[in-house]
Copies of this chain bind each other. A is one copy, B any other.
């Protein structure tokens, strides 16, 4: 890679390596390294002189070499496993928002973020490969997808890992997530208290998080002696719309309360209902899950179960850093909260 020698300030070439800088300063490479690190072992005057020299020559430490030598990278891996047919998950608003907050929290702590999207079906080794690369100091897994078993297996021998998702009794891996079951209970209870006598669960009950939401809703429904039906619906934008359209007439015929596994689904359902002239919440009550930014903007504003995404991100980062430090941090389950707006 050719590089002009006359960039930067006039008459001042760029210094590429610490050795270049050492030559310029008339000291050894070791001293330069210590000077740049602010190591107190080096004479204050020399240190300042070298740091100034580094600035003047636009010197940037080669972090790859540094990482190799120190066996630490200052990079946290964030991996999103895409289970079967959940292709679009990466652009799912919830995950994207979580990712944004993760970026914020990690930046705050001086870490870089390496994002990797994997399809476990194509690459059974996805977690080991990431961890073994030596490029990251720890890993955050966003969503358990259908990889619960593999995550457990890896967790048994690799400490610096935390997972966004559900916590099962007796599970090994450190997870951060909402109490999905409780959230489901809150949602269903709200619908029932508002007068709903027949519930519909809108969403794919396969993924473990959604399964928990459904289980919670069923808890509440059974306690109140109210029936609840499942209407499986995918999250990917291309399939979602059609599936909801297909479901909605049946739902309107049978139920008077909908619990959507996600606000994304709830918003779409709300639109379908209003297009058909079904009064919300008059004729049909509706509760979502997530409390995305859009949810306050619908007409009428959506009643939903709030997850504090920013707090979740901070929790993930906090636990991970503690595990990197060797501490044996435990899982974190965050209580969801019902946000009562106007759809239920």
A residues with a Cβ closer than 8 A to B are: 3-4, 7, 58-65, 67-68, 73, 75, 80, 90-91, 93, 96-97, 99-101, 103-104, 107, 112-117, 128-129, 131-135, 157, 237, 267-268, 270-271, 274, 293-294, 297-299
- B58, B97, B117: the one within 8 Å of A91 (CB): B97
**A64 with B134: CB separation less than 8 A:** yes
How many copies make up the complex? 2
Partner of A114, one of B68, B99, B113, B132: B113
Our pick among B100, B101, B133, B267 for the contact of A63 (Cβ within 8 Å) is B133
**What would 5 more interface pairs be, CB under 8 Å, given A61-B133, A62-B132, A99-B99?**
A4-B157, A61-B132, A62-B133, A63-B134, A67-B135
Q: Is B107 a contact partner of A117 (Cβ separation < 8 A)?
A: yes
The answer to whether residues A134 and B62 also contact, given A93-B93, A237-B293 and a CB cut-off of 8 A, is yes
Residues of B within 8 A of A112 (CB): 114-116, 135
Q: Can you list 28 A-B contacts with CB-CB less than 8 angstroms, sorted by A residue number?
A: A58-B132, A60-B129, A60-B132, A62-B133, A62-B134, A64-B64, A64-B68, A64-B133, A64-B135, A67-B135, A90-B103, A90-B104, A91-B101, A93-B93, A93-B293, A96-B97, A96-B100, A99-B99, A103-B115, A104-B117, A112-B115, A112-B135, A113-B116, A114-B114, A237-B293, A267-B294, A294-B294, A294-B297
Residue among A96, A129, A298 with the most chain B CB within 10 A? A96
Contacts of A267 in B (CB 8 A): 294, 297
Closest to A113 in B: B115
Inter-subunit contact A100/B91 (CB<8 Å)? yes
Asked whether B135 lies within 8 Å of A117 as measured between CB atoms, the reply is: no
A101 to B115, CA, bound (A): 12
CB distance from A87 to the nearest CB of B (A): 9
- In the complex formed, the residue of B with least CB distance to A96 is B96
Q: For A61, A64, A68, which residue has the most chain B Cβ atoms within 10 angstroms? A: A64
* Beta-carbon contact of B297 and A299 below 8 Å: no
- The answer to whether B117 and A103 have CB atoms under 8 Å apart is yes
Complex alpha-carbon distance, A342 and B298, angstroms: 16
CA distance A133 to B59 in the complex (A): 10
Whole-angstrom CA separation of A7 from B107 in the bound complex: 34
